[in-house]
Structure 1
Amino acid sequence: MNDTETKKTHADLLEEIKKGGHEKYHQKNKEQGKLFARDRLKLLLDEGEYIEDGIFANCAAGDLPADGVVTGVGKINGKTVCFMANDSTVKAGSWGKRTVEKIIRIQETAEKLACPIIYLVDSAGARITDQVEMFPGRRGAGRIFYNQVKLSGKVPQVCLLFGPSAAGGAYIPAFCDVVIMVEGNASMYLGSPRMAEMVIGEKVDLETMGGAKMHCTVSGCGDVLAKTEEEAIEYARKYLSYFPGNFREKPPAAAPKLPANFEKTIEEIIPKNQNVPFNMYDLIDRIIDEGSFCEVKKLFAAELITGFARIDGQAVGIVANQPRVKGGVLFHDSADKAAKFISLCDAFNIPLIFLADVPGFMIGTQVERQGIIRHGAKMIFAMSEATVPKLTVIVRKAYGAGLYAMAGPAFEPDCVIALTTAQIAVMGPEAAVNAVYANKIAQLPKEEQQAFIEQKRQEYREEIDIYKLASELIVDDVIEPNQLREVLTARLHAYSSKYMVFSERKHGVSPV
């Protein structure tokens, strides 16, 4: 064989591998609205060639091009990233021995390069025929999850879930920082509906048990629900723009922008009555750079808002109560949501802004049985451990343990700023008067009760007056609501050099 024939054979082999699996599987993907793995990478990565490793994996098998996974190094927003992308046209994206080895190696590359890694998941799970080679050993599938834990907090890990992530493979999204799921196609589950029926007698469809919508609204395993693959990929690119390449770097700044223009000011959107709800998104939009909000877990535990944004070009993480949903009361799910987000921001040096309007944690038999004390402790634990700049804003009420969870004064925030509308107390005036004077009220003639209640409520309001708390140095500043963006901008710049070690130890023991 001469050189020309060798080159032609090499080129033909490469072309064949890059086509992926049989045409009928490509057609099936099209019918489901799914893109080919290599086309997904073209959308995700900056223009230009990416470096691919292991393209000839299992090429001798003939029907396993690249062994069903594309791995390599490319760029997103001009920054180096590693990636792995399951090819669902090859044995439904299932894992064989070399598939697993390729994933492990690209994780090791991400650690060496100290760069983010993106998992483009669309896999039926393990190939049973390869189980001895790919499942139990030291470089078996378990090593993938071990590596994810090792990389956690070192480099950003992003999961784009385009199809199934079955059985043990479901732990790839579980160990990622963010999971973006495509509605209608993405799913994750430990046992399929067929297995559930066989083993426990439960009849259930895939969407109900492990579909994208369920995981993004009920279980919390999904963070973002995208309507299309293109939307999912666009979100991933935006998400990464707030992050440094690794934990040693600071998040990248962007050109500052003013907030969008609105008819009403912050002062005008906050009701004077503490018990009248308002939309916290309206306040967020008035303090952040226009168009910069990148929300995480929007559909899960909506009584708490978490997301990334920019203020004067600086990346920040926002944790905000949402009075419009359940009154902004904290539940076990919202506590979990906050804990994960706070930990993520702290790991990658993203300052945190807490916007508090919280009546406290939910009470009652049901939430106690759901472990609200443990889950609430988890939120407080994560917030306490965070050493990035923490700026606390008391928008309206901050009652009971809700004050603690939202980075109250005792938890070393860099500042506690109260708006003129703020109240800080163990409980609100209504509950306090009922708790303290219930017997006295019951003894009064009915015609005198209301006047007595109003008098005691007013006395209580005077006791918790925000200027009185400021005079005791409980809060660092009281500002007009319309000054908030200006004050946050100045303080973010002032705290940008902050460095502290929370505690000298091996690690804390999380309450959950």
Structure 2
Amino acid sequence: MIGDDITTLGGTQSIVNERKVDRILEIAVQNNFPIISLSEGGGVRLPDGIGVGFARLCGLHKVGCLSTLANWRRRPLFICGVFGHTYGDPAIRSAMADITIMVKDASAAVSAPIVIEAAISEKISEEKLGGSFLHESITGTVDIVTKTEDEAIDSIRRVIKMFRATEAPTDPPDRLTPSLESIVPSNNRKVYDMRKVIVTILDHGEWIEFKPHYGTGLITGIGRVAGKITGILANQPLIAGGAVDAKGLWKSAAFLDFINKRRIPLFVIQDTPGFLIGSEVEKDGMLNAIANHARALDAIDIPMVTLIIRKAYGAAYYFLGMGASGAQFVVAWPNAEISFMAPEIGAVVLTKNVDNEKKEDAMKKAITELSRGTSIWDIAYEGLIDSIILPEQTRKIICHAFQFITEGCNNDIIH
């Protein structure tokens, strides 16, 4: 446990602080203890950090409070709570953590407003500089935002509880889920809230969503399936019909890195028209986001189960996790479709040079032709999917799949 005491010199850092933190981190790494940081401080203490004082803090020796926490491949689970205005090292911890929780009126930034004004003459408030809205919606640094400090502490406890060892499920794995048919419209063009699907499938609907206001076309979080902690990655049809943008891919890639390191099985739910396209998306660095996500996906070596609900179009089908990209079990509902793109879009491309008077007939013919083979039954006929299941069987099949493919996995997930 690392706590910055805001009542003592503003929670600033000195050489003694650094030694204390390095010592506790050394013990945590040696014993695989989870690390919790309660951040609220002003960074390096003045005048201790001026000249040779700063060299004492980070001279020829390794600064464990930075290097150890940054090395997520070596350290144990790391949770950071941001409880007030936080700058310097305590703020950097929030970006290094596996899971970051922030109180709504807190802030986190490299330097405090007073330093910024002195250095570059910019006047800015703590909230605009590094407030919760910025970090939950724009930077994606924060996973959970709470209204109060008590709620933040409760969220830390909920996260720790979610990492408990595998247990006998008290929610029957064979429980049927007939309500899914009313939650999900059969019409592919109608939207719905994927969170309702997730809650229906998971044990007692128990789960924690990460970064709900960043990359909103994708949902990430952790829950329990058949008594075991499970990562959840799902499209959100309420946002652009479930299309995936660059922020969603950055969020997903970071999440895949996290669950892969922690050996958490992955449950993917696909209902997507593909990657979001257009000039604005390209300005956001879509190609870089896809490449980074491909790296994270290729590194996955944990149990993965994928469910296709209505549609899985384009490269998003591959990059969100299917058989060829690592899923050990891929199932779909009977009305699902898999294709490079929607037949209606493909028809526009194929008929772009057709005369206007023949366009309507050509479009109808192209749509009919392109619709052939997109049915999940055609795909199953060629053995390109593992099973077709009814919506009411979803929880039952998913639970049995995870029980089978995760048997023998390390139950000590928190380490």
Q: Tell me if TM exceeds 0.5.
A: yes
Given the superposition, is the C-alpha separation of residues 493 and 437 from structure 1 closer, same or farther in structure 2, using an over 3 Å criterion?
same
Aligned residue in 2 for 1:509? none
Q: Deviations over 1:303-346 (max 9, x none)?
A: 11111111221211100000101221111111111111111111
1:403 partnered with 2:313: no
Could you tell me which of 249, 270, 290 is aligned with 1:376? 290
CA contact (8 A) 1:388 1:498 kept: no
CA contact (8 A) 2:309 2:333 kept: yes
Name which of structure 1's ranges 364-373 and 297-306 shifts more when overlaid on structure 2.
Answer: 364-373
The letter for the 2-side match of 1:444 is: E
Aligned residue in 2 for 1:117? 35
What SS does the corresponding residue of 2:80 show, helix, strand or coil? strand
Larger-gyration structure (1/2):
1
Residues in 2 aligned to 1:216 and 1:389: alpha-carbon distance in whole angstroms: 29
CA contact (8 A) 2:42 2:112 kept: no
- Displacement after TM superposition at 1:497 (Å): 3.5
- Displacement after TM superposition at 1:264 (Å): 6.6
1:107 partnered with 2:54: no
Identity of aligned residues (%): 29
Matches within 5 A, 1:162-177: 162-177=83-98
What SS does the corresponding residue of 2:311 show, helix, strand or coil? strand
What SS does the corresponding residue of 1:124 show, helix, strand or coil? coil
Could you tell me which of 54, 68, 72 is aligned with 1:147? 68
CA contact (8 A) 1:306 1:341 kept: yes
RMSD (CA atoms): 2.3
Residues in 1 aligned to 2:20 and 2:318: alpha-carbon distance in whole angstroms: 45
Matches within 5 A, 1:269-308: 269-308=183-222
Could you tell me which of 115, 133, 137 is aligned with 1:213? 133
- Displacement after TM superposition at 1:412 (Å): 2.3
Residues in 2 aligned to 1:454 and 1:258: alpha-carbon distance in whole angstroms: 48
Aligned residue in 1 for 2:228? 314
CA contact (8 A) 2:203 2:227 kept: yes
Could you tell me which of 378, 398, 413 is aligned with 1:468? 378
CA contact (8 A) 1:389 1:498 kept: no
Residues in 2 aligned to 1:180 and 1:426: alpha-carbon distance in whole angstroms: 38
Residues in 1 aligned to 2:182 and 2:367: alpha-carbon distance in whole angstroms: 25
- Displacement after TM superposition at 1:291 (Å): 3.9
Residues in 2 aligned to 1:290 and 1:153: alpha-carbon distance in whole angstroms: 33
TM-score (norm 2): 0.91
Aligned residue in 2 for 1:362? 276
Given the superposition, is the C-alpha separation of residues 263 and 474 from structure 1 closer, same or farther in structure 2, using an over 3 Å criterion?
closer
Q: Deviations over 1:30-80 (max 9, x none)?
A: xxxxxxxxxxxxxxxxxxxxxxxxxxxxxxxxxxxxxxxxxxxxxxxxxxx
CA contact (8 A) 2:38 2:80 kept: yes
- Displacement after TM superposition at 1:286 (Å): 1.2
Given the superposition, is the C-alpha separation of residues 420 and 162 from structure 1 closer, same or farther in structure 2, using an over 3 Å criterion?
same
The letter for the 1-side match of 2:57 is: F
Residues in 1 aligned to 2:286 and 2:270: alpha-carbon distance in whole angstroms: 19
1:136 partnered with 2:58: yes
Name which of structure 1's ranges 169-178 and 225-234 shifts more when overlaid on structure 2.
Answer: 169-178
- Displacement after TM superposition at 1:450 (Å): 4.0
Aligned residue in 2 for 1:36? none
CA contact (8 A) 1:319 1:355 kept: yes
What SS does the corresponding residue of 2:150 show, helix, strand or coil? helix
What SS does the corresponding residue of 1:376 show, helix, strand or coil? helix
Given the superposition, is the C-alpha separation of residues 332 and 200 from structure 1 closer, same or farther in structure 2, using an over 3 Å criterion?
farther
The letter for the 2-side match of 1:136 is: C
1:349 partnered with 2:263: yes
Residues in 2 aligned to 1:444 and 1:475: alpha-carbon distance in whole angstroms: 41
CA contact (8 A) 2:3 2:37 kept: yes
1:192 partnered with 2:112: yes
Given the superposition, is the C-alpha separation of residues 95 and 139 from structure 1 closer, same or farther in structure 2, using an over 3 Å criterion?
farther
CA contact (8 A) 1:153 1:344 kept: no
The letter for the 2-side match of 1:458 is: T
Given the superposition, is the C-alpha separation of residues 457 and 187 from structure 1 closer, same or farther in structure 2, using an over 3 Å criterion?
same
Q: Which has the higher contact order (CA 8 A, sep 6+)?
A: 2
Matches within 5 A, 1:36-75: none
What SS does the corresponding residue of 1:373 show, helix, strand or coil? helix
Residues in 2 aligned to 1:430 and 1:471: alpha-carbon distance in whole angstroms: 24
Return 5+ residue gaps in structure 1 as ranges.
1-82, 245-250, 500-512
- Displacement after TM superposition at 1:84 (Å): 1.1
Aligned length: 405
Given the superposition, is the C-alpha separation of residues 194 and 262 from structure 1 closer, same or farther in structure 2, using an over 3 Å criterion?
farther
- Displacement after TM superposition at 1:266 (Å): 1.0
